[in-house]
């Protein structure tokens, strides 16, 4: 399922392959694109904000035009080779010198003047994968503006911060030992979760694929998303289906490590241990260990954090 890192990577791939090239042929099969003919227009660049994709074009007349797409759960783009999917699934097909760009099953797509793009994103929080990483303290305050919201709801609400999707809304609460059901107003140290989550999604946007464990880089790998038992204490995980879940998405959590309590503190010692193999720990935003660990837990943490 596309999250902010996937869309950022897609935008970069489209730019690398087609930027500066003229569209030789344009076919649309979506009622919202009736009348759109991009033949002759030059693709200036592709860009992303959160989960929104923008394809920016310039016509010889000087008109600047954007195709905006949101992939929701199932949409995708094929970059380069011709798609072999049925025609009716190919909502947008563009021929360039260096291959074809095909939008498949795109649930939200429209064309608009480039100058009006901002109208689609003005209501969103800061973009996690934008040019500058948003400040964790600022984002934590935005997440907590509705203190009764469950943590996963707050993380998924793009008005708070743009880019996190459901995999992260399952994985990050586990990493810091907080339930996705815990009300955000009862969580202390939420900026610590952002100080881990922000550089991780940015690393995945730059390099991919999404891998929250760091155990087998180059593969998709997760701690609890799609799993049945807790990798820390082996307790069977609890789950929401997307129908049961207050936030409308599947969820998994450990009823032991991630208990809902009257107040809960983000556990950075646990996070540093779990992410001891993940390159995110080298990011300047990543929370540093206490300078003089005195507890057994902190000492253990120092040991497992050593470079492999
Ligand atoms: Zn557990």
| 225-250: pLDDT as tens digits | 999 999 999 999 999 999 999 999 99
Ligand 1 centre from 175 Cα, in Å?
Answer: 10
Confidence of residue 294 (pLDDT cuts 50, 70, 90): very low
Structural contact between residues 150 and 246, judged by C-beta atoms closer than 8 angstroms? yes
Q: Is position 209 annotated as part of the catalytic site?
A: no
Rounded to the nearest angstrom, the distance between the alpha carbon of 37 and the centre of ligand 1 is: 54
Q: Give the Å distance between the CA of 223 and the centre of ligand 1.
A: 10
In the reported structure, the alpha carbon of residue 270 is separated from the centroid of ligand 1 by a whole-number distance in angstroms of 11
Decide if pLDDT at 220 tops 80.
no
The arithmetic mean of pLDDT across residues 67-87, rounded, is 94
The topology under which CATH files domain 4-121 is N-terminal domain of MutM-like DNA repair proteins (3.20.190)
Q: Confidence class of residue 207 from pLDDT cuts 50, 70 and 90?
A: confident
pTM of the model: 0.88
Burial of 183 (0-12, 13-18, 19+ CB in 10 A): buried
Distance from the alpha carbon of residue 192 to the mean position of ligand 1, in angstroms? 20
Outline which parts of the chain fall under CATH 1.10.8.50. 136-305
| 207 among known catalytic residues | no
Known active-site residue 116: no
First to last CA, the chain: 31
CA 140–ligand 1 middle distance (angstroms): 25
Sign of the CA dihedral 74, 76, 53, 88? negative
Would you call 117 a catalytic residue per the annotation?
Answer: no
Name the class of domain 136-305.
mainly alpha
Residue 302 pLDDT exceeds 80: no
- Give per-residue pLDDT as tens, 19-54: 999 999 999 999 999 989 999 999 999 999 999 999
Q: Which of 2, 133, 150, 287 is catalytic?
A: 2
Given 3, 117, 171, 191, the catalytic residue: 3
Per-residue pLDDT averaged across 145-170, rounded? 96
Helices and strands (H and E) in the chain: how many: 8, 12
Which residue in 8, 90, 249, 270 is the catalytic one?
249
Q: How far is the CA of 27 from the centre of ligand 1 (A)?
A: 51
Please pick, among 51, 202, 270, 272, the residue that the annotation labels catalytic.
51
Q: How far is the CA of 259 from the centre of ligand 1 (A)?
A: 9
With DSSP H G I counted as helix, E B as strand and the rest as coil, what are the percentages for the chain, rounded to 5?
A: 30, 20, 45
What pLDDT is recorded for position 132?
A: 95
Q: Any idea what DSSP says for residue 74?
A: T
Looking at the chain, the domain(s) classified CATH 3.20.190.10 span 4-121
């Amino acid at each position: 399922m596309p999250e902010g890192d996937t869309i950022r990577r897609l935008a970069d791939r489209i730019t690398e392959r087609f930027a500066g090239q003229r569209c030789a042929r344009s076919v649309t099969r979506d009622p919202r694109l009736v009348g759109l003919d991009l033949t002759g227009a030059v693709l200036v660049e592709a860009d992303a904000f959160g989960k929104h994709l923008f394809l920016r074009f310039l016509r010889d007349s000087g008109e600047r035009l954007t195709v905006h797409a949101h992939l929701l759960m199932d949409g995708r783009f094929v970059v380069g080779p011709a798609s072999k999917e049925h025609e009716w699934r190919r909502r947008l097909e563009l021929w360039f010198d260096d291959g074809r760009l095909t939008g498949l099953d795109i649930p939200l797509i429209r064309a608009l003047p480039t100058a009006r793009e901002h109208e689609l994103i003005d209501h969103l929080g800061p973009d996690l994968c934008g040019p500058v990483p948003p400040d964790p303290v600022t984002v934590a305050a935005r997440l907590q503006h509705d203190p009764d919201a469950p943590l996963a709801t707050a993380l998924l609400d793009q008005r708070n911060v743009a880019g996190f999707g459901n995999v992260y809304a399952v994985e990050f609460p586990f990493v810091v030992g907080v339930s996705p059901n815990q009300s955000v107003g009862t969580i202390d140290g939420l900026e610590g979760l952002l100080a881990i989550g922000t550089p991780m999604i940015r690393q995945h946007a730059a390099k991919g694929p999404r891998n929250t464990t760091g155990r087998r880089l180059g593969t998709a790998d997760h701690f609890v998303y799609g799993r049945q038992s807790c990798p820390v204490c082996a307790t069977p995980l609890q789950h929401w289906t997307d129908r049961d879940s207050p936030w409308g998405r599947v969820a998994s959590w450990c009823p032991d490590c991630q208990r809902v309590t009257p107040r809960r503190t983000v556990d950075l010692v646990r996070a540093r241990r779990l992410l001891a193999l993940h390159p995110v720990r080298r990011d300047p935003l990543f929370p540093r260990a206490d300078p003089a660990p005195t507890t057994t837990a902190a000492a253990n943490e120092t040991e497992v954090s050593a470079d492999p």
